[in-house]
Amino acid sequence: QLMDAARIVFERDGFLRARIADICDEAGMSHGSFYTYFVSKEEIFQELVDSIEFDLLRVDPIADDAEPSDRNRSANRHYLETYRNNAAILRVIQQVATFDEEVRQTRIKHQDALAHAIERRTRDYQEQGLADGQINAWFAANALGGMVAFVSDQIVSRDVPVDIDFVVEQLTRLWANAIGLNTDQQRSPKRPQTKSS
């Protein structure tokens, strides 16, 4: 109850103006009950950050034999939809991260964990001969993760209708092309050869 109430209050009032009293009123609980679980407004906000960042960056289970592009498509869709569903509180988290080091470090920790997972997967594709072996997997993981995060933020912040299927497909193709993914599913039709004069 307190976590749900805190989210409502932080989204409505922002972090700096939010008060423990308002959180308790929203939850229908006494102030004493709040301090049974949390010592401060900062602590309950940190719990929210942890929960939302985990949901945003986790990778949904997918079959081990899934095509690389299907795997990435699923991850892109999850990120976009979760970002959209949490847009209001994510705006608050982004603001707080500019002045609260603990919140900033929490975001970095979750983002690094996801990047390492993408890096490992990219290395696997390189070892299987499915991806360009000259690409630095760690750099690619950060660059492509940043692309998805930026596009998600732009879509949500503009608050206009967007075809999520289209966005997911474009991000998936950009990711595959960026690492030189070589699967039958991803290959473009060959251009007809012409004789040079």
Helices (H) and strands (E) in the chain, counts: 9, 0
C-beta separation of 181 from 69 below 8 A: yes
What is the model's pLDDT at position 183? 54
pLDDT tens digits, 37-89: 999 999 999 999 999 988 888 777 777 778 888 989 999 999 999 999 999 99
What is the model's pLDDT at position 130? 93
Stated pTM of the model: 0.82
What is the model's pLDDT at position 195? 41
Structure tokens at 139: 């750099």
C-beta separation of 28 from 8 below 8 A: no
What is the model's pLDDT at position 185? 43
Q: List the chain residues with pLDDT less than 70.
A: 183-197
